[in-house]
Structure 1
Amino acid sequence: MMLKVTPLTPSIGATISGVSLNKDLNIGVIEQIYSALIKHQVVFFRDQNISPETHLKLAENLGEIDPGHPVYPHVEGYQSIVLLKNDANNRPDTNDWHKDLTFKESPPFASILHGVKVPKVGGDTLWASMSAAYDQLPNGWKDHLEELEAIHDMGTFRNDFYKEGGIDSVNNALKNVGSAVHKVIGTHPISGLKYLNVNQSFTRNIVNESQGPSDHILQFLFQHISKPEFQVRFHWEDNSVAIWDNRITQHYAVFDYLPEFRHMQRVTVVNDKRDKS
């Protein structure tokens, strides 16, 4: 079976059609999906009313599954499927540019997001290519950033812990969740592309820089990353599915649909089983 892969922008994103994820998940289909993911960084499917079992099977074919999110709830009976239900009584907190879980020493490889029930209007998600963003940096900036590292922590998740138990809960979470240091410029292990490896949600400081110079560097990069030329915008429909390579992309869930209801389910893949590095 040959899938149809249709690019959406020159930088990032493609739709995949001609497949039923519930019925056709053989090794040949998985390899075509993986190849499209590496090339386009995020891929989309329409009309895929996938079961939790299919959701997990697709993830397992890509790599090891994350056992559960440190903050968000899970689908009943499926610890590894994150449940994201938002409306006027449960406002989302994903409306900023971020890579998932970069406060971990080894952030996850990929995520598979299933739009179960979505608003007719609004609630889009944007993805941005960090390799395209790197390519368009001025040469002087590329040279300067090459040797830099940055500290990442749990960022805006502080608010979730504060709601649960005040400042003591935040302090305990900072201790238990921890921080990580990552190179500002990463190299993708499969494609070999260089990419920007900072994000507004979780990157806090440039290592060995005082706060002023660190803020200057990070704010320049955050503004650069937000250019539309590096982005694709996806309008969800019920039973749409998105798979993205978290190593080389960032995403932003647009918060414009309240008081409408938005129900998403996500599985995160910790590592890439095809990465032998």
Structure 2
Amino acid sequence: MNKYSTQQLTPSLGAEIKGIDLSNDLSNEQLNQIYDDLIKYNVIFFRNQKISPEKHIEIAKSLGTIEDPHPIYPHVEGFPEIVKLENNKDNPPDTDEWHTDLTFKNDPPFATVLCSKVIPPVGGDTLWSSLSKIYDALPDEMKKNLETLRAIHDMGSFRNNYMQEDDIESANKLNKGFEEFGNAVHPVVKIHPVSKKKFLYINPSFTSQIVGMTTTDSNNLLSYLFNFMNKPEFQIRFQWTPDTLVIWDNRCTMHYAIGDYMPHQRIMNRITVLSDKRA
């Protein structure tokens, strides 16, 4: 096995890690190196990793507390901690837009550990974007203003899951959905707890309103920022291969899983890490 090495993939974020077999028992030194590279590059990629579900869980737990079994999504048989994301023509993806996971919660998760199992012959790439690089590129006067603002986050496009007909029943289901998902208010600019870098903490999927602004003014500001955030120089686009493990820092990135591979199948095994035990 070659020596552990990193290959940076873009100037903004992303690195491929080579020279490590994640199916082996990993030393504390190796786990700390993986963590350090996650903080440095925001998203890290390990190709050709045939890991067991037990090893998948072990790697995730080395980062922090993992999420309890998901109440809705199916899981890997015998391993309720691992969500099985299986999409095809009969079950198309419902998150194919830019988002940071679960920002409608008061304490969104730290990281995701995703392992590819079945990859379509073409399509199905995932993009990530660096929220700190986006913040850095904003005009200085705008940074000062944004640092004083807070934003409301809600369930966004998930509301479509509750709207079947234009009737009272659907409205009641939608209200129940808002109760289940909840809402959260976050600063528009946050500081990373480890790197101490500032980053822009909004996303098109779940950020709905700037606190204290009229809806029109809020929409105008968010529209400008979302367009600014969509520049390719802040992004990386990753083409999956089977048995690739990816870890990303959900605190300071957005991602977009492209749903362009129908009618083919795509299966991913996902563990969500709630807290960063090193922070």
> Which TM-score bucket, shorter chain as reference?
over 0.9
Residue of structure 2 aligned with 1:182, choices 165, 182, 186: 186
Q: CA deviation at 1:2?
A: 4.9
**Structure 2 CA distance for aligned equivalents of residues 250 and 219 of structure 1:** 16
Does the 8 Å contact 1:4/1:18 carry over to 2?
A: yes
Q: CA deviation at 1:162?
A: 3.8
Query: Residue 156 of structure 1: SS of its match in structure 2?
Result: helix
TM-score normalised by length of structure 1: 0.95
Does the 8 Å contact 1:4/1:16 carry over to 2?
A: yes
Partner of 2:235: 231
**Structure 2 CA distance for aligned equivalents of residues 20 and 120 of structure 1:** 25
Q: CA deviation at 1:70?
A: 5.3
Q: CA deviation at 1:143?
A: 1.1
**Matched-pair identity in %:** 49
**Structure 2 CA distance for aligned equivalents of residues 162 and 269 of structure 1:** 31
Rate the CA distance shift 1:249–1:70 in 2: closer, same or farther, 3 A: farther
Query: Residue 245 of structure 2: SS of its match in structure 1?
Result: strand
For structure 1, list consecutive stretches of 5 or more residues without a partner in the other structure. Answer: none
Partner of 1:107: 108
Tell whether 2:276 aligns with 1:272: yes
Stretch of structure 1 that moved more, 144-153 or 75-84 = 75-84
Rate the CA distance shift 1:252–1:119 in 2: closer, same or farther, 3 A: same
AA paired with 1:114? Answer: C
Q: CA deviation at 1:9?
A: 0.5
**Structure 1 CA distance for aligned equivalents of residues 77 and 225 of structure 2:** 39
Q: CA deviation at 1:252?
A: 0.3
**Structure 2 CA distance for aligned equivalents of residues 120 and 34 of structure 1:** 32
What is the correspondence of 1:233-248 to structure 2 with a 5 Å cutoff?
A: 233-248=237-252
Query: Residue 263 of structure 1: SS of its match in structure 2?
Result: strand
Q: CA deviation at 1:112?
A: 0.5
Partner of 2:13: 12
Partner of 1:49: 50
Does the 8 Å contact 1:120/1:237 carry over to 2?
A: no
> Over residues 211-269 of structure 1, what are the superposed CA-to-partner deviations in whole Å (9 max), with x where a residue is unaligned?
00100111111111111000011100111111000000000011111111100111000
> Over residues 177-197 of structure 1, what are the superposed CA-to-partner deviations in whole Å (9 max), with x where a residue is unaligned?
211000000100000100010
**Structure 2 CA distance for aligned equivalents of residues 209 and 264 of structure 1:** 40
Partner of 1:87: 88
**Structure 2 CA distance for aligned equivalents of residues 54 and 117 of structure 1:** 18
AA paired with 1:106? Answer: D
> Over residues 47-106 of structure 1, what are the superposed CA-to-partner deviations in whole Å (9 max), with x where a residue is unaligned?
112211111100100000011345433223222211111111111012110000001100
User: Size of the alignment, in residue pairs?
Assistant: 275
**Structure 2 CA distance for aligned equivalents of residues 78 and 161 of structure 1:** 29
What is the correspondence of 1:73-84 to structure 2 with a 5 Å cutoff?
A: 73-84=74-85
What is the correspondence of 1:157-196 to structure 2 with a 5 Å cutoff?
A: 157-162=158-163, 166-196=170-200
TM-score normalised by length of structure 2: 0.95
**Structure 2 CA distance for aligned equivalents of residues 265 and 191 of structure 1:** 28
**Structure 1 CA distance for aligned equivalents of residues 238 and 34 of structure 2:** 18
Partner of 2:4: 3
Q: CA deviation at 1:168?
A: 2.8
Rate the CA distance shift 1:152–1:69 in 2: closer, same or farther, 3 A: farther
What is the correspondence of 1:26-37 to structure 2 with a 5 Å cutoff?
A: 26-37=27-38
> Over residues 115-144 of structure 1, what are the superposed CA-to-partner deviations in whole Å (9 max), with x where a residue is unaligned?
101012110000000000000001121011
Query: Residue 113 of structure 1: SS of its match in structure 2?
Result: strand
Does the 8 Å contact 1:153/1:180 carry over to 2?
A: yes
Stretch of structure 1 that moved more, 175-184 or 18-27 = 18-27
Partner of 1:205: 209
AA paired with 2:114? Answer: L
Q: CA deviation at 1:32?
A: 0.7
For structure 2, list consecutive stretches of 5 or more residues without a partner in the other structure. Answer: none
The RMSD of aligned alpha carbons is 1.6
**Structure 2 CA distance for aligned equivalents of residues 192 and 18 of structure 1:** 29
Does the 8 Å contact 1:3/1:32 carry over to 2?
A: no
Tell whether 2:153 aligns with 1:149: no
**Structure 1 CA distance for aligned equivalents of residues 269 and 171 of structure 2:** 30
